[in-house]
């Protein structure tokens, strides 16, 4: 049971979060590997385009805040992984078009 938290609302929140260096949201960029909803907690497993991303802390806080705003989540457990590493094939077709790829 997810206590009213809908995955579509979590995805909508993720689509409002951007790496300031790339004009595509984190969801369409393919950075989100998994979304799990349990009780009032949303667990996100994600990666970054680079392990050396200078805005990691900003992005994590932005993602947590947006998910709490747009869903009824009490907590967001966000885990960063680099396995598997991100690559351009994870991007949506819309994201690739937006970046001219």
pLDDT digits 0-9 by tens, 36-65: 999 999 999 999 988 888 889 999 999 999
Predicted confidence at residue 3, as pLDDT, reads: 64
Q: What number is the average pLDDT over the span 61-83?
A: 93
Predicted confidence at residue 14, as pLDDT, reads: 96
Instruction: Assess if residue 94 is contained within a domain.
Output: yes
Instruction: Assess if residue 1 is contained within a domain.
Output: no
44 burial via Cβ count (<10 Å: 0-12, 13-18, 19+):
buried
Interatomic CA distance for residues 23 and 17, integer angstroms: 10
State the total domains in the chain: 1
Instruction: Assess if residue 2 is contained within a domain.
Output: no
Interatomic CA distance for residues 30 and 49, integer angstroms: 9
Is the pLDDT score of 2 beyond 70? no
Predicted confidence at residue 59, as pLDDT, reads: 92
The mean pLDDT of the chain is 91
Which CATH number does the domain housing residue 45 bear? Answer: 3.30.300.130
Domain holding 46, by residue range, is 7-98
């Amino acid at each position: 049971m997810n206590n009213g938290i809908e995955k579509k609302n979590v995805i909508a929140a993720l689509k409002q979060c951007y790496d300031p260096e790339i004009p595509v949201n984190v969801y369409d960029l393919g950075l989100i590997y998994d979304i799990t909803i349990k009780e009032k907690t949303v667990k996100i497993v994600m990666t970054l385009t680079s392990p050396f991303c200078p805005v990691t802390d900003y992005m994590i806080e932005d993602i947590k805040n947006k998910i709490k705003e747009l869903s009824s989540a009490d907590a967001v457990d966000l885990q960063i992984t680099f396995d598997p590493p991100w690559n351009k094939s994870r991007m949506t077709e819309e994201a690739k078009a937006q970046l001219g790829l």
